[in-house]
């Protein structure tokens, strides 16, 4: 693609997104130029050809950091340039800069680990996940060794005594403690920096575990969040004691890391499921979402070393919140998120990472053509770069989802087939979704062939267990196979998936009406089958024929139908169906997810009918359910919704 054509396409995407935001200054958020940057950096030549795409950190000899804050800031200029390259798509250039001191400098090692972290969360691959964990653990060791090795002959005992007292008397991170010791007693800047780097390693490991959405990984997440919180708390208290003179004793980039870390911890804690939060409360912590936003915004405004990551963190939170509960949180966060995206692109006009968020935000704004165009352009801009495969596959999945939302089932099936061939994520899931798309266009024979492949594609991993998505598709196919795939008329697999993932709100009303007809046909087919079986039973006294058992089929269709009706603005029509699911929950043995999701939809119906207290009551009931498909996905949705109600109530009182 020529540069002029690319710029024209960029301007079209930019203009379209800006129309969704009122009173936003004209800014560029899609890259203007695609030319590679020179491998010259500050007059220094980096050999990009010899730089491996793998992110491997080897711990070298521990070097004590005795630089003053101002000296440290001058030393950090190259790392800041590396981050600029990273967010301008020059991944190998950034990697070469970070690698130079990664074996001994905690911040350089953290920068390299962050690249591995970003790749791991994009690919969802076990190999990339393990590589990121290894890099983060090595970085943690480098930072820990620097703390351990640092000695100040005349002050060392007071430093460790202060640290010991901190461990004995942990205070809330948001409290300001008055300084009772002279400035010379503050730990050296290098030690404080090593602590925040060590803390961020734990924070990123916690996030990687959080993404796996399992009880075991949630517990691991809590453990690593505790580690991160403790280190951040120590540095935060020292920072607070310094007061207005903090810049005298701490460099700007260490403060940037501190703001990013403390803000991120509070933001993540505020979104965790209630059952996980109970474990957090046991440690005496209380998440403060507003403090989290405040610190992350300060980090962004400082233009320090973690400024871009703070933007990524908030955009991720906004995207998660809006997509989890669009009816409730869209008005609260969508405009803020779009403004932040445009601000970020003003400083990193070449960033495919931000362009990916542009695609997400366009979908959340129901502009599917713009969303697909953004994801396609992200793929084009990432070609022949370090993250090409990761970004290409991630975008291909998003495009497949957009095809489903727009009813382009054939295109969606092709996209899922491509992802299957790439072995990106779960092959079993992509075969299942490909079959679900064929089922939507009436090609049942092809759908059955694809569904039949699913069981042999399911692989146990992550500690010998099935991922949530693999467990779900395997159970669904087993249900289909019990009847020799004769019961497919009683299910609508594609719409069921879209309901669970909250994708139906972005469909047009015309497509939703078509979907409603499809669901009603399924319900009619079940009712006819029930009537036939009842007639057969009436012809024989003391019959041994079992009672009709279509509880799972009814429950699935009723929940999805309620979702569609709520989106269409007809919540009063959902009561009968949702009550049936809740009343028959003891009979629903396979699709147990339908009961808590029915409670979620019941809460949405109440919300639309302006009975918010009833919504809160129903959602609190849903929190008590456990051991069902996508439990943790719904749990986060419930946490965000209930927190929003609590915040709204506080504002009104």
* d(C-alpha 503, C-alpha 284), whole Å: 37
Given a cut of 90, is residue 175 above it in pLDDT?
no
Mean pLDDT rounded to a whole number for the chain? 87
Domain boundary among 259, 294, 329: 294
Pairwise pLDDT comparison (597 vs 149), residue with the higher score: 597
* Domain total in the chain: 2
Domain end marker among 269, 294, 319: 294
Encoding tokens for residue 425?
């994520």
Tell if the pTM clears 0.75, that is, is over it. Answer: yes
Which range has the worst mean pLDDT, 12-26, 187-201, 575-589? 12-26
Say if residue 158's pLDDT is above 70. no
Separation of alpha carbons 403 and 266, rounded Å: 36
Contact 618/574 with Cβ under 8 angstroms? Answer: no
The pLDDT tens digits of the residues spanning 612-628 come to 999 999 999 999 999 99
Evaluate whether 367 touches 334 at the Cβ level (below 8 Å). no
Beta bridge partners of residue 461, listed in sequence order? 465
Tokens of 136: 């983060």
pLDDT at 431 over 90: yes
Q: What pLDDT shows up at residue 652?
A: 76
Domain-located, residue 116: yes
User: What pLDDT was estimated at residue 260?
Assistant: 98
Q: Does residue 74 lie in a domain region? A: yes
Split at pLDDT 50, 70, 90, the class of 161 is very low
Nearest residue to 555 (alpha-carbon basis) of 521, 578, 531, 573: 578
Least confident residue range of 25-39, 70-84, 493-507, 524-538 = 25-39
Last-in-domain residue among 267, 294, 321:
294
- Give the model confidence (pLDDT) of 378-415 as tens digits: 999 888 778 788 889 999 999 999 999 999 999 999 99
Q: If pLDDT is split at 50, 70 and 90, which confidence band does 214 have?
A: confident
Q: Is residue 482 part of a domain?
A: no
| Residue scoring higher pLDDT (464 or 609) | 609
Instruction: Give the DSSP letter string of 491-540.
Output: --HHHHHHHHTT-GGGS-HHHHHHHHHHHHHHHHHHHHHHHHHHHHHHTS
pLDDT in tens, 81-125: 999 999 999 999 999 999 999 999 999 999 999 999 999 988 777
**Residue 595: burial class (beta carbons within 10 Å; 0-12, 13-18, 19+):** buried
Q: Is 212 within the bounds of a domain? A: yes
Which helix or strand (DSSP H or E) is residue 41 part of? Answer: strand 40-41
**Looking at the domain assignment, is residue 287 inside a domain?**
yes
Sorting pLDDT into bands at 50, 70 and 90, what band is 629?
Answer: very high
Domain, as residue range, for 128: 58-294
Q: Estimate the crossing angle of helix 368-381 against helix 3-18, to 10 degrees.
A: 140
Within a domain: 467: no
- The answer to whether residue 67 sits within a structural domain is yes
Please determine, for residue 473, whether its predicted confidence score (pLDDT) is greater than 60. Answer: yes
pLDDT digits (tens, 9 = 90+) for 258-300: 999 999 999 999 998 877 777 777 777 788 999 999 999 999 9
How big is the chain, counted in residues? 653
In a domain, 231, yes or no: yes
- What's the token pair of residue 623? 């929190």
């Amino acid at each position: 693609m020529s540069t002029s054509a690319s710029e024209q396409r960029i301007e079209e995407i930019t203009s379209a997104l800006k129309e969704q935001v009122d009173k936003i200054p004209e800014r560029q958020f899609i890259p203007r130029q695609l030319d590679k940057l020179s491998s010259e950096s500050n007059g220094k030549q980096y050999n990009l050809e010899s730089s491996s795409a793998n992110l491997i950190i080897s711990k070298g000899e521990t070097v004590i950091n005795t630089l003053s804050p101002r000296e440290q800031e001058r030393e950090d200029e190259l790392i800041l340039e590396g981050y600029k390259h990273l967010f301008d798509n020059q991944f190998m250039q950034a990697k070469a800069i970070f690698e130079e001191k990664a074996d001994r400098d905690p911040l350089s090692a953290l920068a390299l680990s962050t690249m591995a972290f970003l790749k791991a969360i994009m690919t969802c691959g076990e190999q990339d996940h393990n590589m990121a964990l290894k890099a983060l653990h090595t970085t943690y060791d480098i930072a820990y060794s620097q703390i351990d090795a640092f000695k100040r002959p005349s002050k060392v005992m007071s430093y460790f005594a202060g640290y010991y007292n901190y461990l004995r008397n942990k205070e809330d991170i948001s409290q300001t403690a008055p300084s009772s010791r002279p400035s010379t007693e503050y730990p050296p800047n290098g030690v404080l920096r090593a602590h925040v780097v060590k803390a961020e390693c734990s924070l990123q490991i916690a996030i990687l575990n959080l993404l796996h959405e399992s009880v075991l990984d949630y517990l691991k997440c809590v453990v690593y969040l505790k580690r991160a919180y403790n280190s951040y708390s120590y540095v935060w208290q020292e920072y607070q004691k310094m007061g207005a003179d903090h810049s005298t004793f701490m460099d700007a980039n260490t403060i940037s890391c501190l703001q990013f870390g403390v803000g991120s911890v509070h933001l993540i804690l505020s979104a965790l499921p209630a059952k996980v939060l109970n474990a957090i409360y046991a440690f005496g912590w209380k998440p403060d979402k507003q403090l989290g936003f405040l610190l992350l915004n300060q980090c962004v405004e400082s233009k320090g070393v973690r400024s871009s990551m703070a933007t990524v963190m908030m955009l991720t939170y906004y995207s998660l919140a809006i997509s989890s509960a669009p009816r409730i949180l869209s008005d609260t966060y969508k405009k803020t998120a779009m403004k932040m995206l445009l601000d970020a692109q003003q400083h990193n006009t070449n960033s495919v990472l931000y362009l990916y968020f542009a695609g997400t935000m366009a979908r959340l704004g129901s502009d599917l053509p713009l969303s697909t165009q953004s994801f396609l352009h992200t793929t084009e801009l990432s070609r022949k770069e370090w993250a090409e495969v990761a970004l290409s596959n991630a975008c291909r999945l998003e495009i497949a989802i957009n095809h489903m939302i727009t009813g382009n089932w054939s295109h969606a099936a092709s996209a899922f087939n491509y992802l299957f061939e790439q072995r990106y994520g779960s092959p079993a899931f992509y075969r299942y979704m490909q079959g679900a798309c064929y089922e939507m266009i009436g090609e049942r024979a092809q759908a059955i062939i694809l569904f039949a492949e699913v069981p042999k594609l399911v692989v146990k991993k992550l500690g010998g267990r099935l991922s949530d998505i693999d467990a779900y598709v395997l159970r669904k196919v087993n249900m289909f196979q019990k009847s020799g795939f004769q019961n497919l008329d009683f299910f609508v697999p594609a719409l069921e998936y879209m309901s669970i993932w909250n994708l139906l709100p972005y469909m047009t009303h015309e497509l939703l009406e078509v979907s409603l007809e499809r669901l009603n046909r399924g319900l009619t087919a079940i009712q006819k089958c029930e009537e036939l079986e009842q007639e057969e039973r009436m012809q024989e006294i003391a019959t041994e024929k079992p009672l009709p058992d279509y509880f799972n089929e009814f429950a699935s269709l009723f929940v999805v139908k309620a979702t569609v009706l709520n989106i269409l603005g007809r919540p009063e029509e959902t009561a009968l169906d949702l009550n049936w699911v809740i009343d028959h929950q003891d009979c629903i043995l396979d699709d147990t997810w339908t009961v808590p999701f029915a409670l979620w939809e019941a809460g949405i119906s109440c919300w639309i009918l302006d009975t918010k207290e009833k919504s809160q009551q129903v959602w609190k009931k849903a929190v008590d359910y456990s051991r069902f498909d996508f439990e943790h996905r719904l749990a986060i949705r419930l946490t965000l919704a209930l927190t929003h109600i609590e915040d709204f109530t506080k504002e009104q009182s």
